[in-house]
Amino acid sequence: MDVVDRFLENAPSDRLEFLRARFDAGLAWVHFPVGLGGLGAPREMQQEVERALAHTPQLDTGVQAIGLGMAAPTILAFGTEEQKKRFLRPLWTGEEIWCQLFSEPGAGSDLATLATRAVRDGDEWVVDGQKVWTSGAHHARWAILVARTDPDLPKHRGLTYFICDMHAPGVDVRPLRQITGEAEFNEVFLTGVRLSDDLRLGEVGDGWRVAQTTLMNERVAIGGAPVRRGGGMIGLVADAWRERPELRTHDLYQRLLALWVEAEVTRLSGVRLREQLAAGQPGPEGSGMKLSFAKLNQALTGFEVEFNRDLGYDDWAFRRSDSVDFLGRGPGYRYLRAKGNSIEGGTSEILRNIIAERVLGLPSEPRVDKDVPWKDLPR
Separation of alpha carbons 180 and 333, rounded Å: 7
Residue among 85, 189, 188, 168 at smallest CA distance from 124? 168
Q: Where are the beta strands (DSSP E) in 123-184?
A: 124-131, 142-148, 159-165, 171-176, 182-183
Separation of alpha carbons 148 and 164, rounded Å: 14
Helix (H) or strand (E) holding 113: none
Question: Which amino acid, residue 89?
Answer: R
Residue among 59, 60, 143, 69 at smallest CA distance from 99? 143
Residue among 233, 222, 229 at smallest CA distance from 288? 222
Separation of alpha carbons 71 and 68, rounded Å: 6
- Check if the beta carbon of residue 176 is closer than 8 Å to that of residue 146: no
DSSP code of 364? Answer: P
Question: Which amino acid, residue 309?
Answer: R
Query: Computed over its alpha carbons, how large is the radius of gyration of the chain?
Result: 22
- Check if the beta carbon of residue 336 is closer than 8 Å to that of residue 315: no
Catalytic residue annotation:
218
CA 210-214-215 angle, 5° bins: 115
Separation of alpha carbons 257 and 304, rounded Å: 13
Q: Following DSSP, what letter does each residue of 327-357 receive, concatenated?
A: TTS-HHHHHHHGGGGGTTTS-HHHHHHHIII
